[in-house]
Chains A and B, each alone.
Chain A
Amino acid sequence: MIPKPLWLLAELTYRCPLQCPYCSNPVDFAGPRFRHELTTEEWCRVFREARALGVLQLGLSGGEPTLRPDLEELVRAAHGLGLYTSLITSAYRLAEERLAALKAAGLDHVQISIQAADAALSDEIAGTAAYADKLAAYRAVKALGFPLTVNVVLHRRNLHQVEALIRLAESLGAERIELANTQFYGWALHNRAALMPTKAQLDAAWEVVQRERARLGTKLEIVWVLPDYYERYPKPCMGGWARAYLTVTPAGEVWPCHAAGRITTLRFENVRARSLEWIWYESDAFTRFRGEDWMPEPCRSCPRRAEDFGGCRCQAFLIAGDAAATDPVCALSPHRPLVDAAIAEAEGHPDAWTYRAAPASRALAGAG
């Protein structure tokens, strides 16, 4: 039986004042594919259809979702449907009054990114002076009584700050901190050599996480997203293809995860032309890798296949050139040497990266 979805990530816009070089948005976010953002009405219809399908958790993301002037209206509609709503924001210029209005509209939870534990490094990584706004927003979020998640993407330049980041989240009274090691898609893949951490950095940070988890217990939940290039087996990506999760992009395309749009061998549908229900149950993009029938060896006979679902289809496409291949991260994959080569190539690579911004996006898309 096909499971019902639980999660919807609504990418309301790809516009963003921050320029983080690890952004998971498509490299061609500034191109025509994403240009015509869904209207308020269209998003409200998407939320209704999602709830009727079984979705319970809604992430309002981007880009920077607070750039949508109708955000309060969207939150009100989602809350009225019984969705648990999370705002995923950079908090750039996010005033306390706006947060209070979102609270009144029924927003349940706020997740605010930070790029590093100190202003200089955080602003350098973001490419925008946003640190002071973030600290003010963290305090406003707690003053308004929201549960707060502090989100940090980890990479070579900030992994040494894991302890300081946990202490910062603790001092703010956050419920959760997500320490998300960079997953190499979108801009992060483009900047992979400049972001790739060393094994020694990861080992040191992991030791801190274990120690701090023991100290903090349930007071602060510390989520550690694995650096999968350094793992022996692949991540159970999205809990399996099209089993629990869908992403709707700013112009209405529906993807099984927020990176799937890069797989050129899949056909993606748009909420402007199709119902979410048809897309979930019938569309090529959602049915192609659902279940186990698509699996090649070594996955097909692997006892781990019900645990990791063969890993990530996007990574298979991006590294092995075939979305139906075993995730190249897996030690059993014939493509694993490509992952090892990427790690080796990053050693001693200068830190220069390309910031995520519209001109760079257009240039990269033009270059193919």
Chain B
Amino acid sequence: MTDGRVPRLHPKVRLQRDEVRGRDVLLYPEGLVVLNPTGAEVLRLCDGRRSVAEVAAALAARYGGADVGRDVAAFLDGLAAKGLVLYDS
């Protein structure tokens, strides 16, 4: 089944490079998440137009076609549960 939900960062959240740690981070009111490189890549693909399935496909294309659909959805759902990612349908 295709995951047609369109993910985007909540407007209160900023995705930013932290040169001190050499990592990407999510910054939001009274909180932050230090991302691993793949997580940051997924979020940079969330442009408010791509669906979850399209984000997963774009990521898979960069990694030799690996099936990452379930991992991408789980990662985004985790951030959505914290109120950091919103889904448009």
Q: Which chain B residues border A54 with CB–CB below 8 Å?
A: 18, 20-21
A147 touches B21 (CB 8 A): no
- Selected from B11, B21, B32, B81, the residue in CB contact (under 8 A) with A84 is B32
B52 contacts the other chain (CB 8 A): no
Contact indicator B29/A86 (Cβ below 8 Å): yes
Chain B residues, CB < 8 A from A51: 20
> Which of A56, A145, A176 contacts B29, CB < 8 Å?
A176
Counting contact residues on chain B (CB < 8 A from A), the size range is 10 to 19
Contact residue among B25, B81, B82 (Cβ-Cβ distance under 8 Å from A56): B25
Number of A-B contacts (CB under 8 A): 51
Q: Is B70 in contact with chain A by the CB < 8 A criterion?
A: no
Are A109 and B20 closer than 8 Å at their CB atoms? no
The residues of A that contact B16 with a CB separation of less than 8 Å are: 82
Q: Is A218 an interface residue (CB 8 A)?
A: yes
Contact status A109-B12, CB under 8 Å? yes
Interface of A, secondary structure class, is mixed
In Å, the complex CA distance between A145 and B11 comes to: 9
Task: Determine how close the nearest CB of chain B comes to the CB of A146; give it in whole angstroms.
Answer: 9
Q: Which residue of B lies closest to A218 (CB)?
A: B83
Taken together as a complex, chains A and B put the C-alpha atoms of A33 and B54 apart, in Å, by 59
CB-CB nearest 6 A-B residue pairs? A218-B83, A147-B12, A84-B27, A109-B29, A54-B20, A147-B29
28 cross-chain CB contacts under 8 A: A4-B21, A51-B20, A54-B18, A54-B21, A56-B18, A56-B25, A56-B27, A56-B32, A57-B27, A57-B31, A57-B32, A82-B16, A82-B18, A84-B14, A84-B28, A84-B32, A86-B29, A86-B30, A108-B14, A108-B29, A109-B28, A145-B11, A147-B11, A149-B30, A175-B83, A176-B29, A176-B30, A221-B83
